[in-house]
Amino acid sequence: MAQQGPDKKAAKEKADPGAIVAVIKRVLAENAREYVPQYIIALVLLLATGAATAGMAWIMQPLVDDIFYRQRYDLVPWISGAVAAAFIVRGFASYGQAVILAAIGNNLVARYQKRLFDHLLRLGLDFFNDTRSGRLAARINQNVLGIRDMLGMTLKSIAGDAVLLVALVGVMIAQDPTLSLIAFLIGPPLVFAVNYLMRRLRRVTRESVEINSHLVGAMQESVQGIAVVKAFTMEEQLARKLGLLIDDAERRANRIARISERVSPIAEVLAGIVIALVIAYAAYRSAGTGEPPGSVMAFITALLLAYDPARRLARVQVNLERALVNARMIYEIIDIEPHQRDVPGAGELAVSEGAVTFEKVTFSYQGSERVLDDVSFHAAAGRVTALVGASGAGKSTIIALIQRFFDLESGTILIDGQDISTVTKSSLRRAIAYVSQHPYLFEGNVRDNIRYGRPDATDAEIEEAARLANAEEFISRMPQGYDTMVGENGVTLSGGQRQRLSIARAIVRNAPILLLDEATSALDNESEKKVQEALSVVMKGRTTIVVAHRLSTVVNSDRIVVMDRGRVAEEGSHRELMARPEGLYARLHQMGQASTLELVGDGEREG
């Protein structure tokens, strides 16, 4: 079964009443143990808040009956103190639970961000080939908050609003059961309205998340490609495209607001009618019986105080639906099964010499035609093997398969006689240093980017690698030398400088196998000559496989493998292949006018 990106998941949401409970149970099962002490403290504080609020309603009866009706002024200090104590308890308890729940929520966000990133790093390149990076980042940033909001709302609703509502209802029933029955008339129509809105909100929320991820992804890609945007005067075209996305996102956001906020007027209308009926009935009964107004005042106070938690509880399912959609979309990513798992009992790759052998390897990318067809060749240990051929011949795919970025359809790749599919990927890739035709630099300074090749490399080893890669000269001219920040993907450096740092990163790795995929394609002739001189030193004693189109790289190779339409067309040294005037290599050499093989890079997807 192929890996699928989140954009290929079905957008249709089923109206499953147990969906919220299922997701909450999963989140709790995965995280609850970490927060048991904090949740207990928060629960106690929430209960204290509810008790203090209910006490404020209860105290209205002695306040009205004893002080104002019976004029028992000796009770003023006690009742006033009780009111002050209730406010103090509620204030500190509210602050404490809010801080604790915020800390739990922030830690949850951090935990899921780390978990998502670790999971994404385990997914194969086919996932990233099918998923736009900007859109993926936007979805993660937007959706990971759904986990936090879901748990926060659940705890506040169950331990906070629900407990508070029960306490206030208890006060209401104790003061006047008949009036309480009238107040409960608000329940059934409110539940019906919330369930109706919930079903509509689920679908609209997912659509909104998708639109926003498209929007943020498009913005990110426009910024990253700003040089191309300006070079091709694409400003107006992209502005129109982004404008349409922004307008669509605005419409979806307004629609969500219209649907979710309908709970408020419905609740207000129902509450207003019920409270009006309660006051009218209480006034009528008080006028007829002459009872002291304290119990009625306590009841009305409890009713008014109960309105807010009741309203929040009415909205909680609507808000949970929005959080549920976000949480589901996070789990859609987490639940993607990584391909290229290590087989059970996979061992460590033991490299003694570093010989690489392809035996009848066949491969095609998902949904595309076959890229390699029955490919067999041997890259001798400690020697340089060059891969040449026309665009789309399969050269870069071979480099990707050696690193096991993809699994084979059939055939075997061996390193020192060991099938690479039976060893751990980490041990395989530790034995390989790789330089891509598209050098990539990460956020940080020059030293950090070279050290990614081997985290335990010393500063002296980093500087030696830079010298061998002919990078020391331009690094020394930088404002802070090796501590100079390189900008996003090395935007402050030229293409040749970025490539030389990438080569230095491969040098410092000190791996027995070196893969160079058009490694000098971004260099001018003078820089290429210097880097080739450095690489000739670095390649000694290492198995080196080179994808190249420049003659200076090819003629010095111990063996040249000529690829044609996914097959090995011919093999041999430069001299042997040139001795075959009708051969493909000789024809390509002639087309390059004895200076360059005009093979401008594979058209197939890269690893």
Instruction: Indicate which CATH number applies to the domain containing 25.
Output: 1.20.1560.10
Instruction: Tell whether 261 and 365 lie within a shared domain.
Output: no
Q: Tell whether 345 is covered by a domain.
A: no
pLDDT at 229: 72
Domain that holds residue 594: 354-431+513-519+542-607
Q: Please give the tally of structural domains in the chain.
A: 2
Judge whether residue 388 has pLDDT over 70: yes
Do residues 292 and 51 lie in contact, with contact meaning Cβ atoms separated by under 8 Å? no
**Does the pLDDT at position 596 exceed 60?**
no
Q: Does 253 lie in the same domain as 377?
A: no
Is residue 172 in some structural domain? yes
Residue 530 covered by a domain: no
The DSSP H or E segment spanning 11 is: none
Which residue type does 528 have?
A: E
299 and 169 in a common domain: yes
Q: Which pLDDT belongs to residue 550?
A: 64
403 and 297 in a common domain: no
- If pLDDT is split at 50, 70 and 90, which confidence band does 134 have? low
Q: Is residue 343 assigned to a domain?
A: no
Q: Are residues 239 and 146 in the same domain?
A: yes
Mean pLDDT of 250-274: 74
On whether both 330 and 363 belong to a single domain, the answer is no
Within a domain: residue 99? yes
Q: Kindly state the tokens that stand for 100.
A: 């604790």
Query: Residue 493: is its pLDDT beyond 90?
Result: no
pLDDT at 87: 84
Look up the CATH number of the domain holding residue 421.
3.40.50.300
Statement: residue 2 has pLDDT above 50 = no
In this structure, are residues 202 and 325 in contact, taking their beta carbons and an 8 Å threshold?
yes
Per-range mean pLDDT, top range of 11-25, 408-422, 496-510: 408-422
* 384-389/559-564 β-pairing: parallel
- Res 531 pLDDT > 80: no
Distance from C-alpha of 221 to C-alpha of 525, rounded to nearest angstrom: 32
- Nearest CA to 110 among 72, 136, 141? 141
Q: Which residue has the tokens 């940033």?
A: 141
How high is the pLDDT of residue 232? Answer: 66
Backbone angles phi, psi at 88, to 5 degrees: -65, -45
Amino acid, single-letter form, for residue 308: D
User: What is the SS3 assignment for 464?
Assistant: helix
Walk across the sheet containing 513-517 and list its strands: 432-435, 513-517, 543-547, 384-389, 559-564, 567-572
Phi, psi (5° rounding) for residue 27? -60, -45
pLDDT, one tens digit per residue, over 437-484 is 777 888 788 998 899 888 889 999 999 889 888 888 889 898 888 988
322 has a pLDDT exceeding 80: no
| Strands 370-379 and 432-435, sheet pairing | unpaired
The answer on 391 and 263 residing in a single domain is: no
CA dist 453 and 178 (Å) reads 77
Please state, rounded to an integer, the average pLDDT across all residues of the chain: 77
Query: Does residue 485 register a pLDDT over 80?
Result: yes
520-523 long-range contacts, CB within 8 A, separation 24+: 520/548, 520/550, 520/553, 521/437, 521/549, 521/550, 521/601, 522/437, 522/439, 522/495, 522/496, 522/498, 523/496, 523/499
What is d(CA 586, CA 583) in angstroms, rounded to the nearest whole number? 5
Band the pLDDT of 238: cuts 50, 70, 90: confident
190 vs 325, higher pLDDT? 325
Residues, the chain: 607
Give yes or no: residues 301 and 422 share one domain.
Answer: no
Instruction: Specify which of 79-88, 457-466, 526-535 reaches the highest per-range mean pLDDT.
Output: 457-466
Q: What is the band of 228 on the pLDDT scale with cuts at 50, 70, 90?
A: low
CA angle, 189 then 57 then 75, to 5°? 165
Q: What is the DSSP string of 560-585?
A: EEEEETTEEEEEE-HHHHHT-TTSHH
Q: Is residue 387 included in any domain, yes or no?
A: yes
Q: 372 and 323, same structural domain?
A: no
Residue 547 lies in a domain: yes
> Could you say which of 285, 304, 334 is where a domain stops?
334
Distance CA 66, CA 77 (A): 13
Instruction: Please check whether residues 389 and 319 belong to one and the same domain.
Output: no
Q: Are the C-beta atoms of residues 527 and 573 closer than 8 Å to each other?
A: no
Classify 382 as helix, strand or coil.
coil
Is the domain of 152 the same as that of 227? yes
In a domain, 459, yes or no: no
How far, CA to CA in Å, does 385 sit from each of 16, 260, 419, 558, 560? 59, 64, 20, 6, 6
* The pLDDT value given to residue 544: 92
Pick the last residue of a domain from 279, 302, 334.
334
Amino acid at 27: V
The one-letter amino acid code at 251 reads: R
Contact (CB, 8 A) for 128 and 339: no
pTM value > 0.75: no
Q: Where is the domain boundary, 303, 334, 365?
A: 334
Q: In what order do the strands lie in the sheet with 410-415?
A: 370-379, 356-364, 410-415, 418-419
Same domain assignment for residues 248 and 378: no
